[in-house]
Amino acid sequence: MEKTVAKKENKPKIGITIGDFNGIGPEVIIKVLSDIRITNLCTPIVYGSGKILTKYKRLLELENFNYHQYNPNSYLNEKKPNVINCWHDNIEIEPGRITQTAGISALKALEKSSEDLESGFIDAVVTAPISKENIQSDEFKFPGHTEYYESKFGDENSKSLMMMVSENLKVAMVTGHVPLSKVKSLISKEKLRQTLKILLKTLKTDFGIQKPKIAVLGLNPHAGENGLLGDHENQVITPVISDFKNRGNLVYGPFSADGFFGAMSFKKYDAVLAMYHDQGLLPFKILAFDEGVNYTAGLKVVRTSPDHGTAYNIAGKNLANPNSIREAIYLACDIVKARENKVESGIRVNKEIKERDKDKDMEKKVAE
């Protein structure tokens, strides 16, 4: 029996994939969904295995977590996290180990959630970390989630853009999961124009910023030092920036990455465009690791993820911080609401919710 896609209510339906179940994915999912404030904000649907979640609940002694087992003949419980079993085998967990079974299971959860995302059964998906090693197969030949989602939901007019988001910093990358030796050859005028168009559009549509101000970083040290340390800035980056400026866009640069972040200049801009993965992610994770979110911009679907990996070294030890996946859920809700135009800015609404929750936590601590 096919699932009936009901008319969207005020609360978005957020799918959450379990990721590699030998990493910290199940732990952070359980921790964040133990908080009733999440179900007040959205209807969470975990794609994975109820048996796996129960094993981690017992292992980590996280007794506050309860869920509703969903199946096609059932219903979505709006007051509890829902779980969709993507496999029925009784698989043993091996926290901290890279296993083929965990990779196969992670892919099953990813594929099932993608079907429901395409059909409209869920409004957005939050992906817990996978291992890029054990998930590789004939069905998954991608460097990561971002490329997978572009293959599923992108086309000639809908390209993806890796974007890291926190409350005070947004960083996008022209190139993503590619070897450093290939970066320069991949940054052409056409590629840079395409990336800036996506970034401008997502800042307006998904984040409610009507006139975004973007800082573009250089490729070479000191942004090429006027050609002394490289000519890519003069030949490619600067002409594209000038073109966007002439069209009335607030796009500036190229800036030297070290000085730009060292002087905290990112605070003057709505977003930063880095040329390659580590140039953007290194400062982002230093500044916002516990609350950072990975957002796949540019697609018709909404996909977010925590900004950390599987963290095998702490898996199963009750040491994982759930803040990043919590922020990923918040951001997914924000963008769904912004796209539906239900509110002027979903970002502002959920920020108010988070601030109110912080106040409640403070009142509770004072009372104790």
CA distances from 154 to 151, 157, 260 (A): 6, 8, 32
In the chain, the amino acid numbered 127 is T
76 C-beta neighbours (distance < 10 Å), count: 17
In the chain, the amino acid numbered 239 is P
Provide φ and ψ at 201, rounded to 5°.
-65, -45
Distance (Å, rounded) from C-alpha 79 to C-alpha 38?
A: 9
Distance (Å, rounded) from C-alpha 325 to C-alpha 172?
A: 19
pLDDT tens readout for residues 292-305: 999 999 999 999 99
Helix (H, G, I), strand (E, B) or coil at 230: strand
N residues, the chain = 368
First-residue to last-residue Cα distance in the chain = 50
Distance (Å, rounded) from C-alpha 217 to C-alpha 174?
A: 10
Distance (Å, rounded) from C-alpha 68 to C-alpha 76?
A: 8
Q: Establish whether domains 8-155+298-368 and 168-290 are of one fold.
A: yes
Measure CA 360 to chain center: 27
pLDDT tens readout for residues 62-94: 999 999 999 888 899 999 999 999 999 999 999
pLDDT attached to residue 1:
35
Distance (Å, rounded) from C-alpha 119 to C-alpha 125?
A: 13
Distance (Å, rounded) from C-alpha 205 to C-alpha 195?
A: 15
Distance (Å, rounded) from C-alpha 305 to C-alpha 126?
A: 5
Domain ranges (residues) in the chain: 8-155+298-368, 168-290
Helix (H, G, I), strand (E, B) or coil at 112: helix
CATH topology of domain 168-290: Isopropylmalate Dehydrogenase (3.40.718)
pLDDT tens readout for residues 150-190: 999 987 777 899 999 999 999 999 998 889 999 999 999 99
pLDDT tens readout for residues 45-60: 999 999 999 999 999 9
pLDDT attached to residue 241:
98
Please state at what angle helix 100-119 crosses helix 145-153, rounded to 10 degrees: 40
In the chain, the amino acid numbered 109 is A
CATH topology of domain 8-155+298-368: Isopropylmalate Dehydrogenase (3.40.718)
Distance (Å, rounded) from C-alpha 207 to C-alpha 113?
A: 24
Average pLDDT score over the chain: 90
Give all strands (DSSP E) within the chain, no chain letters. 13-17, 43-48, 68-70, 82-85, 124-127, 161-165, 170-173, 213-217, 250-255, 271-274, 293-297, 303-306
Least confident of 163-177, 190-204, 260-274, 344-358: 344-358
